[in-house]
Amino acid sequence: MKDGVSIQTARSEMAAIAHQLERQYPDSNRGQGASVERLSKVIVGDLPPILLTLLACAALLLLIACVNVVSLHYPFDQDPNAGFSLVVRTSQPAESLLPTLRSAIREIDPALGTIGEATMTDTINRSQAAYLHRSAAWLAGGFAGMALLLGVLGLYGVIAYSVSQRTRELGVRLALGAQRSSVYRLILKDASVVIAVGIGAGLICSLVAASLIRNLLFDTVPWDVPTLAGVGGLLAASAFLASYVPARRAASVNPITALRAE
């Protein structure tokens, strides 16, 4: 509807149009009418009262749950569980201190029993939070490995395609007396340019991203030079390995076959 036209006006005009169509075409429009409804009402229908009722019930249940949680209180003297936890801080190796602690507890009261002795490191490592963090780390490592594999395959495809396009050129070079080592250097030189640009852009992006999330890093500096150098070296080695196979094929090209190509 146009702006300023009310729903009642639209209904009256549609009723007039329907009445006029019924008089002009009585065979097909007798008893037919026209109605105007809001689109929101047509889509939703009678759901708003039901939704409001469900929301009210959910809010009531949430309120009851909050009240029950607040009211939970077990006095220590009335707790049927008589066990308790003992945490000890030491500067010595924690594993070697566990037998000494058990002996000290039995000296205090021989009737006391100990169960579940563990170091804080073992307790943390067995916790659910540590399991989730390890799972996330393994998942991220798996995706990183897949990304590295796809990058190596992509670089291999690019270099191999470039070599196939230069088969005739390489054949001419070899026919004119070029050494196969010079063909190796030519292909690897072109690949090194692509590798250097890619690794440089990746290092810059990683430094920028690390600077943006430096507040979320724990016990880690954004400018971790050993990690960046190690990752850069791994990527460079993988990229040169992917470029070696096309370079070897280029160096083993038969000049006669290459000159007859195309």
80 in a structural domain? no
CA-CA-CA-CA torsion sign (116, 118, 120, 122): negative
pTM for the model stands at 0.50
81 in a structural domain? no
d(CA 42, CA 253): 73
Cα-Cα-Cα-Cα torsion 231, 234, 239, 244, nearest 10 degrees, comes to 170
87 in a structural domain? no
Write down the pLDDT at residue 72. Answer: 58
110 in a structural domain? yes
Same structural domain, 175 and 226 = yes
Same structural domain, 133 and 106 = no
Same structural domain, 118 and 175 = no
The count of residues in the chain is: 262
Same structural domain, 134 and 242 = yes
Two tokens, residue 171: 């054949």
pLDDT tens string for the chain (262 positions)?
A: 666 667 677 777 777 777 777 777 777 666 676 666 665 555 555 556 666 677 777 787 777 776 665 555 556 566 666 667 778 888 888 888 888 888 888 888 787 777 778 888 888 888 888 888 888 888 888 888 888 888 888 888 888 887 777 777 777 777 777 788 888 888 888 888 888 888 889 888 888 888 887 777 767 777 778 888 888 888 888 888 888 888 887 777 777 766 665 5
- Helix, strand, coil shares of the chain as percentages rounded to 5? 75, 0, 25
Q: How many domains does the chain have?
A: 4
Write down the pLDDT at residue 58. Answer: 78
Same structural domain, 120 and 138 = no
Same structural domain, 141 and 235 = yes
Write down the pLDDT at residue 231. Answer: 84
79 in a structural domain? no
185 in a structural domain? yes
Write down the pLDDT at residue 260. Answer: 62
Same structural domain, 255 and 136 = yes
88 in a structural domain? no
Angle between helices 180-212 and 128-165 (to 10 degrees): 150
Same structural domain, 249 and 167 = yes
CA-CA-CA-CA torsion sign (252, 255, 256, 257): positive
For the stretch 46-92, pLDDT in tens is 556 666 677 777 787 777 776 665 555 556 566 666 667 778 888 88
Write down the pLDDT at residue 128. Answer: 82
Write down the pLDDT at residue 29. Answer: 67
Write down the pLDDT at residue 21. Answer: 74
Range of the domain at 110: 94-124
Write down the pLDDT at residue 140. Answer: 86
Same structural domain, 143 and 171 = yes
Number of H helices, E strands in the chain: 11, 0
Write down the pLDDT at residue 38. Answer: 65
78 in a structural domain? no
Write down the pLDDT at residue 122. Answer: 84
Same structural domain, 119 and 103 = yes
Same structural domain, 32 and 154 = no
Tokens 């019930």 sit on residue? 57
